[in-house]
């Protein structure tokens, strides 16, 4: 088993993590936030408010996407400055995200379906 090379404590109930090529992004379910972290030492560079119950994250090559389970939305964030560019309605309890090179796919757990944006 590999030992962790670092452990960083912050946020309320971290659920999702993604790398954008420069920074690490973590969703905090209980705080309704996403944090932008410096990968070398875990320093918090920015905290962004998003929808209720953020969990899964995806990077589409230009933006960070966040699935907000408790309000059935996804939020699009510009990585350079952490600006939330929009929040969009999706199905019930979005719990997974993927980027296919053109679209963001959202798994809607309580609807038993996926949708694309």
Question: What's the pLDDT score for residue 21?
Answer: 97
For 41-45, the CB contacts below 8 A with 24+ separation are: 41/6, 42/6, 42/8, 42/10, 44/10, 45/82
Task: Encode pLDDT of 11-41 as tens digits.
Answer: 789 999 999 999 999 999 999 999 999 999 9
Question: What's the pLDDT score for residue 111?
Answer: 92
- Show Cβ contacts of residue 64 under 8 Å, excluding neighbours closer than 6 positions: 18, 20, 25, 34, 57, 58, 76, 77, 78, 79
Question: What's the pLDDT score for residue 44?
Answer: 95
Percent of residues, the chain, with pLDDT higher than 70 = 100
Residue 76 has pLDDT above 80, yes or no: yes
Radius of gyration of the chain from its Cα atoms, rounded to whole angstroms: 14
Q: Evaluate if pTM is beyond 0.85.
A: yes
Question: What's the pLDDT score for residue 5?
Answer: 76
- Sorted by where each starts, the structural domains of the chain and their CATH numbers stand as 14-116 (2.120.10.30)
Average pLDDT in the 100-114 region? 95
Average pLDDT in the 72-82 region? 97
Question: What's the pLDDT score for residue 9?
Answer: 78
Question: What's the pLDDT score for residue 1?
Answer: 72
Rounded to 5 degrees, what are φ and ψ at 4? -65, 145
């Amino acid at each position: 088993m590999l030992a962790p090379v670092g452990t960083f404590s912050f946020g309320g109930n971290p659920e999702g993590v993604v790398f954008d090529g420069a920074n690490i992004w973590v969703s905090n379910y209980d705080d309704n936030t996403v944090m932008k972290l410096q990968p070398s030492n875990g320093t918090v560079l920015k905290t962004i408010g998003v929808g209720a119950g953020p969990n899964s994250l995806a990077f589409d090559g230009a933006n960070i996407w966040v699935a907000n389970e408790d309000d059935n939305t996804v939020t699009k964030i510009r990585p350079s400055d952490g600006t939330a560019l929009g929040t969009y309605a999706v199905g019930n309890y979005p719990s997974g995200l993927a980027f296919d090179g053109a679209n963001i796919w959202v798994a809607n757990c309580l609807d038993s379906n996926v949708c694309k944006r």
